[in-house]
Chain A
Amino acid sequence: MTLLQLPNPGLEDRILSHEELDKLETEEAGRGDRPKWDNKTQYMLTCVGFCVGLGNVWRFPYLCQSHGGGAFMIPFLILLVLEGVPLLHLEFAIGQRLRKGSLGVWSTIHPYLAGVGIASMFVSLMISLYYNTIMAWVMWYLFNSFQETLPWSQCPLNYNLTGLVSECEQSSPVDYFWYRETLNTTPDIGANGGLQWWMVLCLVSAWAVLYICIIRGIETTGKAVYVTSTLPYVVLSIFLIRGLTLKGSLSGVVFLFTPNLTELTNPTTWLDAGAQVFYSFSIAFGGLISFSSYNSVHNNCEQDAVIISAVNGFTSVYAATVIYTIIGFRATERFDNCLGGNILALLNTFDLPEGNVTESNYDQVLQSLNGTYPEVIQGLNLKTCDLNTFLSEGVEGTGLAFIVFTEAITKMPASPVWSVLFFIMLFCLGLSSMFGNIEGVLVPLQDLGVFPKSWPKESTTGITCVLCCIVGLIFVQGSGNYWLSLFDSFAGSIPLLIIAFCEMVGVVYLYGIDRFNDDIEFMIGHKPNFFWQITWRFLSPAIMLVIFVFYFITKVTETLLYKTWNPESENFPTLEEKPYPAWIYVIIFILAGIPSLAVPGTALFRCLRRKRSRKSEQQELKTVCNQMDVNDKAQDGESRT
């Protein structure tokens, strides 16, 4: 059923036929041309590690809780099946079939599509730069966890030793440690604040650890993933058991999963679910295509796609449960402290014996006292304590890991142990995602021929790591945090949607869905069924398009504000929202515009180059024909005379 097939001359010449693939498979594999996985487990663990990342831990729980709890599972699972699994299967299959990295694959399908590969490389590069800075932050917290009293559990004393540091006193010890002692953040993005030497050391160590894991490509990565992909699950389970024994954990879990079906009518819920599925699967980075190209030709990529999607979905839900047991514990602690503070105020003001006012009769006592002494009660300024408010102080991203969770850890007995475990888990989650990001950068660089082929792999990876580390120094300045969220919002969002859409269109309509079906039949033994046909041809591209349009509109229409930590501001410690300065828009255009424009740009460039080379070919042919004509005429002339 070929509805639409764009003309694609010369495709047969660019790809290996099925017979050639079989021959490649049976011939001696020890050629060393293309690396191979040692076993299937390494491949699966690497893909799982790439997909399961920090987003599963700190983005999904927030979305779940803010979009109606258990009800969010419905759009999430529907879009997982309709959007995530088909895209994943497509990338695995095309990589396994064409046996090249992302740039090679798209150039092979059609030379004009090379822009997709270049855009993938650019996006992977931008994301690698800032992602490893998050790893540096995680390492900083990890290094600081090896102390009996965690440094973020109490405020330091000020210079005269008369009291606590005022910035810390006004906010909280965890906020102070994050914003001042870790980031040493400046009040706005223009003031760069200089390099923070301790963060530079942590950045160097993050890149060094990454380098040692990728030094020989998948030979070393394949060994590293045995630890980095499995350890997070172990730590999550330990935290689950610990969390369930803490007071208030179940209220957190109940709060997370209580469904609110009215949220399903809100289009933002569906958009956020779609975006979360898309970004969580690390599609369009090019790393997954590379990884699956190292497989044997007859590997069952359909099964792999389904398994990895299921694992990713399960991990999101599991991590959300664990996180919310701890958040429930923290919210209950805060609630108890709030209520305890109010009760103490009442006891002290009215000189009542201890134990007269407890949590159970607090409301009654307050009412009766309010009846008899209303002015006194007013003067006390009692805070309203509501557990649900504390629970819905939903934080996501770095705030969840470095502020909320660290605070909860300080309240648990044996805090250093839990802190070390938590940050090791975050480090492993991030490192395994970095393997995929860097793969998406290194393989296209090799394909473009940036490094000479004679250079050993160790030096190419080394040079890439060193250069990325140097550029990444932007993010360890005083204003580094603001740069990071800028990169996060713009480099990693719109371009990926465009690339994924072009991938689908390219495979289905340029490569040909019929040819693709035949390839899959050749590789795994049976043709992809009706579900795959429908999703590849219509559903998934349509979903991508809808998400892209809405995302684009929201990003373009909203006024760009960013949140700053400004001790001088009025509402300190609430983060102050400031508009971006004008020159930032240039940076935003570079981040989001260049990868997106690389797709049509490269196509145009190649088109023009081909036309020019055709013209010169034609001219050469003309002169050759003329010459032959003259020769013939001369011969005829000779023969006649």
Chain B
Amino acid sequence: MLVRILVLLYLAGAPALAQTLCQPNASNGYRVRISIKTALGNQAYEWNENEMFLFRATMAFAMRRCYKTETYNVDNIIVCNQTLRVSFWFVVTSPENSTMLIPKADVEKAVSMSRHRINNAFLLTDRTLEFLGIHPTLAEPVNPDTPPWLIVFGVVIGAVFAGIIALLVSSLLQKRRKEKGMMEDGQDEEDMQVKGVENGNVLDGIYNRGFTDDDRFTKL
């Protein structure tokens, strides 16, 4: 009989006890704010008791993952003050002693560690599933060995310098060809000059190297 009364009292009192443990602005509690419509738009799901159960189960999972020695259960996560915004407070009780709350810092550590998993369970992000007071973890910056702009710069400048050298070389070759062409024209004119001199025509201007040796002899 007494046992039954005690059991009844316990069953009646436990939720009440749980309620006193979980209060808004509790020193060891966190406030959670969820924005499903912002995150998912048309594909938003309804927030109901089942979703709340998933939340409590996910939090228990996070606590287990962080503190591997202790086995947390859904009962250890107490939720209260749910609003239409979808925001609520939660506290975590210790699995050994249900009246003892896990300190804020430990809860924060567990949440930070499994933040990604918690977000994914609800198809939300750090911004739409907010733990007020726990800052989102910053992504590690990706630092490539060579900055990408340097690679593009190298390609461009290489192409440009190759082009400049090609143009300079081609203009040099053109010049040499012109000079060669003029020399060959000069030899043709020499032949013509031989004929031309016989006819009495004088072509001007090209030094006729064919007669250089004779000049030396004519000094006598």
Interface residues of A (CB under 8 A from B): 139-140, 142-144, 146-147, 156-157, 161-163, 198, 201-202, 204-205, 208-209, 211-212, 215-216, 220, 344, 347-348, 351-355, 456, 458
Contacts and interface: CB of A to CB of B under 8 A. Distances in A.
B171 A351 contact: no
A143 B152 contact: yes
A400 B153 CA distance: 24
A205 B37 contact: no
Contacts of A355: 37
B85 to A, nearest CB: 4
A136 to B, nearest CB: 11
Contact of A205 (B35, B156, B163, B168): B156
B33 A348 contact: yes
Contacts of B148: 143-144, 146-147
Given A157-B141, A353-B86, A456 B163 contact: no
B152 A212 contact: no
Interface string B72-116: 000000000001111100000000000000000000000000000
Chain B interface secondary structure, helix, strand, loop or mixed? helix
Interface string B22-39: 000000000001011110
B160 interface: yes
Contacts of A198: 149
B160 A354 contact: no
Nearest to B151: A146
A205 B85 contact: no
Contacts of A147: 148-149
B138 A458 contact: no
Tell me which of A143, A201, A348 has the highest count of chain B C-beta atoms within 10 A of its own C-beta: A143
Nearest to B138: A157
Nearest to A151: B149
A351 B32 CA distance: 12
Nearest to A204: B157
Given A146-B148, A147-B148, A161 B138 contact: yes
Contacts of B85: 347-348, 351-354
B90 to A, nearest CB: 16
Contacts of A161: 138, 140
A354 B167 contact: no
Contact of A351 (B38, B83, B140): B83
Contacts of A216: 167, 171
B8 interface: no
Given A143-B148, A211-B164, A458-B171, 14 more contacts: A143-B156, A146-B151, A157-B138, A162-B138, A201-B157, A205-B156, A208-B164, A212-B160, A215-B164, A215-B167, A216-B167, A348-B85, A348-B87, A355-B37
Interface string B172-197: 00010000000000000000000000
Nearest to A215: B167
B157 A208 contact: yes
Contacts, number: 76
Nearest to B157: A205
Contacts of B33: 348
B35 A354 contact: yes
Chain A interface secondary structure, helix, strand, loop or mixed? helix
B142 to A, nearest CB: 9
B161 interface: yes
A143 B138 CA distance: 27
4 smallest A-B Cβ distances: which pairs? Answer: A143-B149, A351-B83, A353-B84, A351-B85
Contacts of B157: 201, 204-205, 208
A351 B34 CA distance: 11
Q: How large is the interface on B (under 10, 10 to 19, 20 to 34, 35 or more residues)?
A: 20 to 34
11 contacts: A139-B156, A161-B140, A162-B138, A205-B153, A205-B160, A208-B160, A212-B164, A216-B167, A353-B86, A354-B38, A456-B175
Contacts of A351: 83-85, 87
A156 B141 contact: yes
A355 B87 CA distance: 15
Contacts of B141: 156-157
Contacts of B151: 146
Nearest to B35: A354
Contacts of A354: 35-38, 85-86
B129 to A, nearest CB: 13
Nearest to B132: A348
Interface in B100-147: 138, 140-141
B149 A144 contact: yes
A268 to B, nearest CB: 41
A352 B37 CA distance: 13
B206 to A, nearest CB: 21
Contact of A143 (B84, B153, B167, B171): B153
A162 B138 CA distance: 8
B138 A163 contact: yes
A212 B160 CA distance: 7
A201 B153 contact: yes
B137 to A, nearest CB: 10
A439 to B, nearest CB: 18
A146 B149 CA distance: 7
Contact of B149 (A140, A163, A204): A140
Contacts of A348: 33, 85, 87
Nearest to A143: B149
A352 B84 contact: yes
Given A208-B160, A351-B85, A352-B84, A458 B168 contact: yes
Contacts of B149: 140, 143-144, 146-147, 198
A50 B95 CA distance: 79
A458 B38 CA distance: 63
Tell me which of A146, A156, A162 has the highest count of chain B C-beta atoms within 10 A of its own C-beta: A146
A142 B163 CA distance: 20
A204 B160 CA distance: 11
A514 to B, nearest CB: 45
A212 B138 CA distance: 46
A348 B141 CA distance: 31
A458 B167 contact: yes
A156 B147 CA distance: 14
Contacts of A344: 35
A215 B175 CA distance: 16
Nearest to B162: A212
Contacts of A208: 157, 160-161, 164
B160 A209 contact: yes
A156 B161 CA distance: 34
A330 B72 CA distance: 49
Contact of B171 (A146, A156, A456): A456
A227 to B, nearest CB: 14
Contacts of B161: 208
A211 B167 CA distance: 11
Tell me which of B35, B149, B163, B168 has the highest count of chain A C-beta atoms within 10 A of its own C-beta: B149
A298 B208 CA distance: 45
A21 B84 CA distance: 90
Given A144-B148, A354-B35, A458-B171, A212 B163 contact: yes
B171 A202 contact: no
Contacts of B160: 205, 208-209, 212
Contacts of A140: 149
A562 B124 CA distance: 47
A266 B96 CA distance: 82
B109 to A, nearest CB: 16
A110 B166 CA distance: 43
A215 B167 CA distance: 8
A139 B138 CA distance: 31
